[in-house]
Amino acid sequence: MRLFDDLGEQVPLRRPPSSVVSLVPSLTESVAASDPGLLVGVTDYCTHPPDLDVERVGGSKYPKVDAVLRLRPDLVLANSEENRQEDVERLRADGIAVWVMRAPETVPDALASLRRMLTQAFELAEPEWLCTAEDIWSATRPERVRALVPVWRKPWVVLGRGTFAGDVLHRLGVGNVYADHADRYPRPKLDELSAQFAAGAADLLVLPDEPWEFTSSDGRDAFPGVPYVLVSGRYLTWYGPSLVDAHRELTAAIATVADAG
């Protein structure tokens, strides 16, 4: 099998893998929904499916590489943005095949990459959830609000250009104030962020519960009087089966604020 991952690196598999370690929560959920028996190890942050009972190998950024090696999986799944290159290189140096998915910038990019991975590396039929997600997310709604979307605090980090979450919101009719910024994840000062609302450039604050766990008090407190909505970080940033429910849930959450405005 001559396989190449999203970065063009060859993935030396002689047959479809029967034991897989996933270092990416989205990929964990995608594989589990498509063929649950394949997974033998996942990260501590792989929370879906909730009943997944396999070896935990630490975090995404800092996995316990020795624990992965002890499992001797046929394949390790990684992401170019979530995982460190040095960990990928160490696994490959120890003879472990690694498939690295490029960090997707759009919903179609993510689904196309998942399709290629599942059908080529695993030789699975196209899963129903993937076809459903493609259909649901194919259209883009007209912009109805412009939003500021923090993903971290201390320091403040917001969605910038070319992010998957930004495209999710764009397809739901939510513009991103920092969509044209030079950085994917700008770090403006709080004064600059607040000024976006004062100037009328932003009219909605979108607060996800991951990677920073924003709440009605943590995050909203920095922007008094600003319309806000709390959303599931999984629905906003995960690519995979969660996209099927994400469209409905995010649409409903945003409508409660946008329609009121």
Please work out, in degrees rounded to the nearest 5, the angle formed at the alpha carbon of residue 100 by the alpha carbons of 94 and 102.
155
Q: For residue 135, how many other CB atoms are within 10 A of its CB?
A: 10
Angle between the 242-258 and 128-136 helix axes, to the nearest 10 degrees?
A: 30
What would you measure as the largest C-alpha separation in the chain, in angstroms?
A: 59
Q: What pLDDT does 75 receive? A: 98
**Do residues 41 and 15 touch, judged by C-beta distance below 8 A?**
no
- pLDDT tens string, the chain, 261 residues long: the values are 689 999 999 999 999 999 999 999 999 999 999 998 999 999 999 999 999 999 999 998 999 999 999 999 999 999 999 999 999 999 999 999 999 999 999 999 999 999 999 999 999 999 999 999 999 999 999 999 999 999 999 999 999 999 999 999 999 999 999 999 999 999 999 999 999 999 999 999 999 999 999 999 999 999 999 999 999 999 999 999 999 999 999 999 999 887 765
User: Which domains are seen in the chain, by residue range?
Assistant: 2-124 (3.40.50.1980), 137-258 (3.40.50.1980)
pTM recorded for the entire structure: 0.94
The pLDDT score that the predictor gives to residue 261 is: 59
The sheet carrying 174-176 orders its strands as 174-176, 145-148, 204-208, 228-231
* pLDDT of res. 183: 96
Contact call for residues 57 and 63 (beta carbons, < 8 A): yes
Q: Which two tokens stand for residue 233?
A: 């970080």
For the chain, helix, strand, coil in percent to 5 are 35, 20, 45
DSSP assignments along 30-66, one per residue: HHHHH-GGGEEEE-TT--SSTT--SEE-B-SSSB-HH
| Collapsed DSSP state (helix, strand, coil) of residue 29 | helix
CA 35, CA 30: separation in Å to the nearest integer? 9
pLDDT at 2: 86
Copy the structure tokens of residue 162. 């070319």
Would you state the pLDDT for residue 88?
97
